[in-house]
Structure 1
Amino acid sequence: MANTIIDQLKKATDGLLMMSESEYPFEIIFWEEKEPLTNPKILQLTNHPQDSPIEEVELEYFLRNCAFDKEWHDEIQKEDVKKFKVLLQTLKDNLNEIKVYRVGNISIDVYILGRTSDENLAGVSTKIIET
């Protein structure tokens, strides 16, 4: 099971960059972790200090400018939208209870996590810059 979700996420994120004031690749996450996800648990699993600012947002909201067509997109961005739609669908098809956690300010670590069918945690992480 773990290899299947990992392979599907690798395929969906291959060559994909998260757009912000900088561009960062995605990394695959798989944790054999059954405990409920709380902010302190997220910070512990991601090796952030316990006093780090953390915000939870909905998946579609987080990907609103990447996975949905916008009038202002150029041809390259339109191609990227297709790739982000694949990532969005891959996450939704393979994970339950998907949440997006933003950790930090300005240089923000992003974790898109959900539960696999065997209740482990899986997803992707990236970084965004917001000034």
Structure 2
Amino acid sequence: MNNSNLTNGNRSTLIETLQAASAELLFISESESPFEVFFWELPSGTEVKPETMINQTGISADTPIEFTDLESFFAVATTHQDWHGLVETEAVNRYQNLVKIIQENLTDIKVVRVGNVDIDVYIVGKTVDGCLAGLKTKVVET
């Protein structure tokens, strides 16, 4: 992890860094959804598990929760295609930068999909001071 942009516990810098990297990006599924930065101040060593997600998001215990990895989640958005024009190429470059920023500033990163059809997606990782932070977006899959 590269902490060049962060000092231990500098939460506002982390939040600003994630906001800047995700600004004006929309995650495209059957809808287009922006990214929101979140920061969960939890006891050091808290793991990202279904119980953590239930406690932090207020979802019911029977809500479907699925875990995936960062690269798989962003694969479509970070892969250049032959048919891409300038706008699409720029978007891919911005998504590649977003993934890089997430990897540089968070550890133990997990992507957590919560719900069915109208799915909340949390990209969650540990901060340098052991809290959990990341980005939230929404995907629609019918």
TM-score normalised to the size of structure 1? 0.95
Whether 1:52 and 2:60 are equivalent positions in the alignment is: no
- Measure, in 2, the Cα distance between the counterparts of 1:33 and 1:58: 22
d(CA) in 2 for partners of 1:63, 1:111: 12
1:115 and 2:126 correspond: yes
Are 1:37 and 2:53 an aligned pair?
no
Q: Aligned to 1:77, what secondary structure does the other structure show?
A: helix
Secondary structure of the equivalent of 2:14?
helix
Asked whether the equivalents of residues 36 and 137 of structure 2 are also in contact (C-alpha less than 8 Å), the reply is yes
Instruction: Give structure 1 stretches of 5+ with no counterpart.
Output: none
Counterpart in the other structure of 2:5: none
Q: Percent identity?
A: 40
The root-mean-square deviation of aligned C-alpha atoms, in Å, is 1.1
In the superposition, the TM-score normalised over structure 2's length comes to: 0.88
Which of 74, 92, 99 lines up with 1:81 in the alignment? 92
- Superposed displacement of residue 38, structure 1: 1.3
Which aligned runs of 4 or more in structure 1 are off by greater than 6 angstroms?
none
Q: What 5-or-longer segments of structure 2 have no aligned partner?
A: 1-9
Please tell me whether residue 12 in structure 1 is matched to residue 56 in structure 2: no
Letter in 1 for 2:110: K
Q: 1:52: how far off?
A: 0.3
Q: CA deviation at 1:43?
A: 1.9
CA distance in 1, matches of 2:84, 2:117: 24
Q: Confirm or deny: 8 A CA contact 2:120 2:139 kept in the other structure.
A: yes
1:65 maps to 76
Once the two structures are TM-superposed, the CA of residue 114 in structure 1 deviates from its matched residue by 0.2
- For the 8 Å contact 2:111–2:124, the answer to whether it is kept is yes
The equivalent of 2:107 in structure 1 is 96
What is the CA distance between 1:16 and its match in structure 2?
0.6
1:66 is paired with a residue whose SS is helix
SS at match of 1:114: strand
CA distance in 2, matches of 1:2, 1:91: 14
Q: CA deviation at 1:71?
A: 2.9
Residue 18 of structure 1 aligns to a residue whose secondary structure is strand
